[in-house]
Structure 1
Amino acid sequence: MSDSNNTIAAQQWRHADPFILSWTVSPDQIDHYQHANNVAYVSQLEQTSWAHSNALGLTIEQYKSLDRGMAISRHEINYLAAAYLNDVIDCATWIVECDGRLKLARHFEFIRRSDGVSLLTARTEFVCIALSSGRPKRMPDIFADIYGRASIQISE
């Protein structure tokens, strides 16, 4: 899945069949070193996650109606190279774990389209919570089904 026909070749991704959202680095995302600020990368992780969930058929409206959400419990981010103003970056994600009960994990990789350089790899872990209380709660069946089917097998 992708929002662009000009994405990075499949053989370059860390896993097969990524969901891809493209990002163009804007002036407001540049820091005092003239690189994309780390906050911009974290924001893009979130945007890519939501775009993937939406593409799978899960929306914020469903989350709210079910009083459930997937809250981040841990980020592990490896910044490998800098991004610069106007760089077009293909942001890939995969669901790599879904226990069907409480936990979900994603991998990410961001690759600069112009030269194929991998800028970032990341792993984010989520826990299902009740939106009304913020406390951990079992995943609704629809989460377990959709995220479970989207989960890929990896060997680390």
Structure 2
Amino acid sequence: MPESLLPWRYQSPFIKSWQIDASHLDHYNHVNNVAYLTQVEALAWAHSNSLGLQFSDYQSLNRAMVIKRHELDYHLPSHEGDNLQCATWIVSCDNKLTLKRHFQFICERRQKTVFEALTTFVCVSLDSGAPKRLPEPFKEIYGNACIESSLQLQSTGEI
């Protein structure tokens, strides 16, 4: 099924496929919680890379976006053989210290959301770990990718 026909929460998702195999399962034969978090991290990095930010940019700017909070919602179990379409969006960016990403994983076979997450990231200095303001490249790249302004327009009916 074309990705555009899946029931995405927001428009224009960044998507990667994830084929579930035995290594992703827990003792209940469901996808393990840690496997979901591993996929969330990989998806966030893939999206950042696609936007033009690599880890080498983080190093040269002496900044990193680190996780402050995860909110995880497990809607349905996933099993070996399932193919999940995994999407992310930057849903808010304050252009100061924080940004939030939403994640949604849809099982192709069932056409249903199996997992969602909202992750809050805070900008820190790589060398000290102390909170630091977003550098200009982060503001520009992450800020431009943020769907917050279009969400506000959708909620007011302006689009």
Aligned equivalents of 2:28 and 2:146: distance in 1? 37
Structure 2 counterpart SS, 1:12: coil
Q: 1:65 aligns with which of 53, 57, 60?
A: 60
Match of 1:99 in 2: 94
Match of 2:23 in 1: 28
Aligned equivalents of 1:13 and 1:89: distance in 2? 13
The amino acid across from 2:121 in the alignment is F
Q: Is 1:109–1:120's contact at 8 Å kept on the other side of the alignment? A: yes
Matches within 5 A, 1:121-132: 121-132=116-127
The amino acid across from 1:17 in the alignment is S
Match of 1:140 in 2: 135
Match of 1:114 in 2: 109
Aligned equivalents of 1:8 and 1:112: distance in 2? 11
Structure 1 residues 8, 50: closer, same or farther in 2, change over 3 A? same
Identity of counterpart residues, as a percentage?
A: 46
Structure 1 residues 94, 10: closer, same or farther in 2, change over 3 A? farther
What is the root-mean-square deviation in Å for CA atoms of aligned residues? 1.4
Structure 1's unaligned 5+ residue stretches are 1-5
Matched positions, count: 151
Q: 1:77 aligns with which of 72, 75, 78?
A: 72
Quick check: which one's helix share is greater?
A: 2
Structure 1 residues 85, 144: closer, same or farther in 2, change over 3 A? same
Q: How does the TM-score come out when normalised to structure 1?
A: 0.92
Aligned equivalents of 2:107 and 2:4: distance in 1? 12
The amino acid across from 1:141 in the alignment is E
Q: Is 2:90–2:102's contact at 8 Å kept on the other side of the alignment? A: yes
Structure 2's unaligned 5+ residue stretches are none
Measure how far apart 1:10 and its partner are: 4.0
Q: How does the TM-score come out when normalised to structure 2?
A: 0.90
Aligned equivalents of 1:19 and 1:74: distance in 2? 21
Q: Is 2:7–2:112's contact at 8 Å kept on the other side of the alignment? A: no
Q: Is 1:8–1:111's contact at 8 Å kept on the other side of the alignment? A: no
Aligned equivalents of 1:151 and 1:138: distance in 2? 17
Measure how far apart 1:86 and its partner are: 2.1
- Alignment of 1:149 onto 2:150: no
Q: Which runs of 4+ in 1 moved over 6 A?
A: none
The amino acid across from 1:140 in the alignment is P
Per-residue CA deviations over 1:50-108 (Å, capped at 9, x if unaligned) read 00000000001111111100000000010000111121101110001111111000111
Q: Is 1:10–1:16's contact at 8 Å kept on the other side of the alignment? A: no
